[in-house]
A = this chain, B = another copy of it.
Amino acid sequence: MLGLRCILLTHFDETFYILAFYYMQIQFLGTSSGTPTKARNVSGLAIKKTNSKSWCLVDCGEGTQHRLLETNLTLKNLQAIFITHIHGDHCYGLPGVLASAAMAGRTAPLWLVAPAKIRSFVEGVIASTELWLNFEIQFVDVAEASSLPADLDFKLEVIQLSHRVPSFGYAFSEKVSGRKLDADQLRKDGVPSGPLWGQLQQGRSVTLDDGRVISGEDYFLPARVSRKIIIAGDNDNPDLLSEAMKNAHVLVHEATYTHDVLEKIGPGPQHSSAKLVADSAEKNELQNLVLTHFSPRYGAQTDSAMSINDIENEARNSYSGHLFLANDLDCFELQTDGSLAKV
């Protein structure tokens, strides 16, 4: 599932430029709400580009490092951790991940983007359990978007959600390299490949041997649309993601209950039903919706009256796009044409 999907080698003068086309990949490390079950761990999700070893972790419930043992992902290649909110089923695996990263010899700094209280949580655990880390944690308060990490594999957007505690969604977009020259057109126009192309790539004007003056600006191809995946934290109001959904290809959102159960429980826990999410996704013409964070009551053997199929059926009733219900270790790839495939 990892590795390069396609590599084009283009000969520019004496230099080979490698243009790598990749998929955006997400892998679920936990899909249960609140407590783990035999089949589902609590929240955790890996996101990466298929042509890169580095990856990002969104949420880190207890046992996330155990799930990682079943994947190809390593703590050495972990670039950044994003925590959606402070509830334990989304962050109690952090101390173990940090400790195991240290024991695996990690020395590179690690970004931790999270609500400010996560910093208190982590620093408190480090102090009280004498945890020694041989790498630096670069804390970023999610409320201070200005200081978000610049060297990430993705562009990042933060969306504030509605839950019992401050909760956030993280939208990961491709960093599409701004502008690409139309090599075919350049050749047709008799502009020889070589150092000139480098100057044109920088948008400059150049004078050709025959006296013609041409500008890079006239040879740029239209910019490719950046692929975008939103990973939402716990949230009882999916419409808060409407704006972000407009140019997104995938939304990963909790569907803790079916709507009848949500109404029975009442609004206290501030979770979404499958219907609430599906309605919003349909309204916003979202292409791919992945539901997760299911209450353990669905699929529990002790309660055969409730099944994960109830969640699926309810969502399909409202949503006509591509719907997926995540299982632990499920891996999805967002392809260059914007379609999402389970791999």
Contact = CB atoms under 8 A, between A and B. Distances in A.
Given A35-B100, A89-B99, A100-B35, A66 B69 contact: no
Interface string A63-98: 101100110000000000000001111011101100
Contact of A130 (B69, B70, B165): B165
Nearest to A75: B35
15 contacts: A35-B99, A35-B103, A35-B104, A36-B65, A62-B65, A62-B66, A62-B93, A87-B130, A92-B99, A117-B129, A120-B127, A120-B128, A121-B124, A121-B125, A121-B129
A59 to B, nearest CB: 13
B62 A129 contact: no
This chain: how many copies in the complex? 2
A103 B165 contact: no
Contacts of A96: 62, 88, 92
A117 B130 CA distance: 10
Interface string A32-52: 001111100100000000000
A131 interface: yes
A100 B120 CA distance: 22
Contacts of A62: 62-63, 65-66, 92-93, 95-96
Interface of A: 34-38, 41, 62-63, 65-66, 69-70, 86-89, 91-93, 95-96, 99-100, 103-104, 117-118, 120-121, 124-125, 127-131, 165
Nearest to A34: B103
A130 B99 contact: no
A38 B69 contact: yes
Contacts of A100: 34-36
Nearest to A120: B128
Q: Is the interface of A mostly helix, strand, loop or mixed?
A: loop
Given A63-B66, A66-B66, 8 more contacts: A35-B103, A36-B100, A38-B69, A62-B92, A92-B92, A92-B96, A92-B129, A117-B130
A116 to B, nearest CB: 10
A131 B117 CA distance: 12
Nearest to A88: B99
Contact of A37 (B63, B69, B130): B69
A152 to B, nearest CB: 26
A88 B121 contact: no
A35 B86 CA distance: 24
Nearest to A91: B129
A76 to B, nearest CB: 13
A161 to B, nearest CB: 16
A92 B130 CA distance: 12
10 A-B pairs with least C-beta separation: A124-B124, A121-B128, A62-B96, A120-B128, A35-B100, A88-B99, A86-B129, A63-B63, A117-B128, A92-B95
A257 to B, nearest CB: 15
A65 to B, nearest CB: 7
A60 to B, nearest CB: 11
Nearest to A62: B96
